[in-house]
Structure 1
Amino acid sequence: MNDLPAMNISAVERDTGLGKDTLRVWERRYGFPQPTRDDHGERVYPPEQVERLRVMKRLIDQGLRPGRLFAASAEEFAELCHACASPRRNDVGQGDPLIRQTTALVKANDVPALRQLLHQAMMRLGLQRFVIDVVAPLNDAVGDAWMSGEFEVFEEHLYTEQIKSLLRQAIGNLPAGGGTPRILLTTPPDEQHVLGLLMVEALLALDGASCISLGTQTPLADIRMAATAHHADIVALSLSAAFPGRQVGALVSQLRQMLPATVDLWVGGAGAQRATPVKGIVLLPTLQATLDALETWRQGDH
């Protein structure tokens, strides 16, 4: 950890998902983080503080309040990490041999064996069941392993890159989509997690929808222009648990107002659970909900 470079406040914001304003407020109110200053007087954050901020962001996403985390002793903080990780880890299949094998191969840094294991699982189950029954619980298990200290950051990244590569290959091997609806997929600014987007694209493309992916962090004005340029029937936005919860409602409402009334707006991912249901916006908290929404759209009068 001490060999890693310190980060400026913009880099910390990108790395942790915590906004600059939040970092400054915590510094004033709680005395943490405690950045040093560079030659220009700008905040610089040591790597060990950045690591703790990453963990805190995950705990807050699990529903814990910042004040409780700052008041906790080192032992209490470790217990909170374990308590948030353990219940779900039991639920998502630590008893599942595939999850156990995957996490073991990630820990062993055995990339060829990891690729083979995941590829064989996809071939055996088919793309839809692989995404819903394997990738989704694996994401939870790997995230929990990171929070509990079982995985290092680079190990989580290693897993994520293998899944992304596999899904992109699978999507590329599907027949060219010419069916309906035409769905524009992306994430808004400040949302850099692409895995959820790929999972949804795989399911929709497999079901015959025409998918146009813009990747991540597309400005809202560009989403509107792209929807028009591609004659999209639907704009599908992916929001992870790391997306700032306070921004969800305003962002979704703003995008809804910017899009033509003829274009549906779907909002999926863990971040969608923070959005308030309003007319003209379809919230998709689960992958199955995405498939259900696709079926509902096709049954409608379009």
Structure 2
Amino acid sequence: MNTPLQPAGLPIAAVERDTGLAKDTLRVWERRYGFPQPTRDANGERVYPLAQVDKLRLLRRLIDQGLRPAKIINLELQALVGMLDEIGKPRDSGDPERTAQFAAILKFVRLHLHEDLRRSLQQLLMKLGLQRFVCEVVAPLNHLVGDAWLRGEMEVPEEHLYTEQIQNILRAAISTHAVTRSARPVVMLTTFPEEQHALGLLMVEAAITPEGACCVSLGTQTPLEDIRSAAASGRFDIVAVSFSSAYPTRQAIEGLRSLRSGLPEQISLWAGGAALHGAARKLPDITVFESIDALPAALEAWRKASGVAQP
């Protein structure tokens, strides 16, 4: 008995893992832009040809740099490669010593030198303190890792190694700051469904815990209705949500508007991350952060407006 040949390519779950593009994003692009154009297997499930997966990787890299899908999705592969060559240039911190430190850290990531990477990051944390470490080291390193991935100099396992080490160091450092549940404000940290990246939440917690804020993390991918009910019943002052560059901007804006309308008026809604760059004007009732170093000042402003004393 002959077995029907299966289409050559990847299922949608594998494409999501490989490119960082959410399944819903792939389906929306298919309907809206006519790309990608998956075939179907014997069960009617989408199968993405490998050439299309290669193009999706390039699109994701360009979108990470701020380009909009509608502007680039129908360009030929070589045009996308040319755009990557043009914009994917290394960033310079402006500080020769820091530039050298970052270059060493990226080398450790590429070579999978776990202990060297951990030790270098830990030394910078001890030298700078938690808040400066987040603003002056983690934030720019995130960009450098993204740039390296953009230029094809770093693969997904290396990116995961970097993220895991940073998260471990931040969690350990945050745990040394004892904050009681009676501290104010009480901040809920979470992400929307389909947003799996937790690093942004840890960076927020690291930036405001030393200021005496009480942070309660619900983890990632919390349904909006669960966020609303937890905020209303948990005596939270602020709900803080993070969006990585892989999250669709329009989906983030629509979700934030919906969440804001369902939250009690006295609860502030904060949001940030690469997906929201330039979106603040579309979210007038929400505090949108363009950079992590703006958080302490926003915390102080909240306390003044709420009549809460600095701890």
Identify the TM-score tier after normalising by the shorter chain: 0.7 to 0.9
RMSD: 2.4
8 Å contact kept, 1:16–1:53 = no
Residue aligned with 1:90, SS = coil
8 Å contact kept, 1:168–1:198 = yes
Q: Kindly tell me: are residues 80 and 69 of structure 1, through their superposed partners in 2, closer, same or farther at Cα, counting changes over 3 Å?
A: farther
Residue 110 of structure 2 corresponds to residue 85 of structure 1: no
Whichever residue aligns with residue 225 of structure 1, its letter is S
Aligned position for 2:31: 25
Residue 174 of structure 2 corresponds to residue 174 of structure 1: no
Aligned position for 2:4: none
* TM-score, normalising length: structure 2: 0.85
Q: Kindly tell me: are residues 94 and 8 of structure 1, through their superposed partners in 2, closer, same or farther at Cα, counting changes over 3 Å?
A: farther
Residue aligned with 1:300, SS = helix
Alignment match of 2:191 (pick from 184, 187, 192): 187
Aligned position for 1:148: 151
Alignment match of 1:286 (pick from 262, 271, 291): 291
Residue aligned with 2:281, SS = coil
Aligned position for 2:228: 224
Q: Quote the Cα distance in structure 2 between the aligned partners of 1:85 and 1:289.
A: 27
Q: Quote the Cα distance in structure 1 between the aligned partners of 2:71 and 2:276.
A: 25
Q: Kindly tell me: are residues 94 and 124 of structure 1, through their superposed partners in 2, closer, same or farther at Cα, counting changes over 3 Å?
A: closer
8 Å contact kept, 2:110–2:158 = yes
Q: Quote the Cα distance in structure 2 between the aligned partners of 1:105 and 1:163.
A: 13
* TM-score, normalising length: structure 1: 0.88
| Percent identical residues | 44
Q: How many residues align?
A: 292
Whichever residue aligns with residue 113 of structure 1, its letter is D
Question: What is the CA-CA distance between 1:63 and the residue it aligns to?
Answer: 1.4
Q: Quote the Cα distance in structure 2 between the aligned partners of 1:172 and 1:264.
A: 25
Q: Quote the Cα distance in structure 2 between the aligned partners of 1:138 and 1:48.
A: 31
Superposed CA deviations along residues 9-32 of structure 1, whole A, max 9, x for unmatched, are 245346522413234237x73xx5
Q: Quote the Cα distance in structure 1 between the aligned partners of 2:217 and 2:283.
A: 25
Structure 2 spans left out of the alignment, 5+ residues: 1-7
Alignment match of 1:165 (pick from 165, 168, 182): 168
Structure 1 spans left out of the alignment, 5+ residues: none
Question: What is the CA-CA distance between 1:283 and the residue it aligns to?
Answer: 1.2
Whichever residue aligns with residue 300 of structure 2, its letter is E
Q: How does 1:192-271 map to 2 (within 5 A)?
A: 192-271=196-275
Q: Quote the Cα distance in structure 1 between the aligned partners of 2:71 and 2:262.
A: 37
Q: Quote the Cα distance in structure 2 between the aligned partners of 1:90 and 1:176.
A: 37
Residue 122 of structure 2 corresponds to residue 119 of structure 1: yes
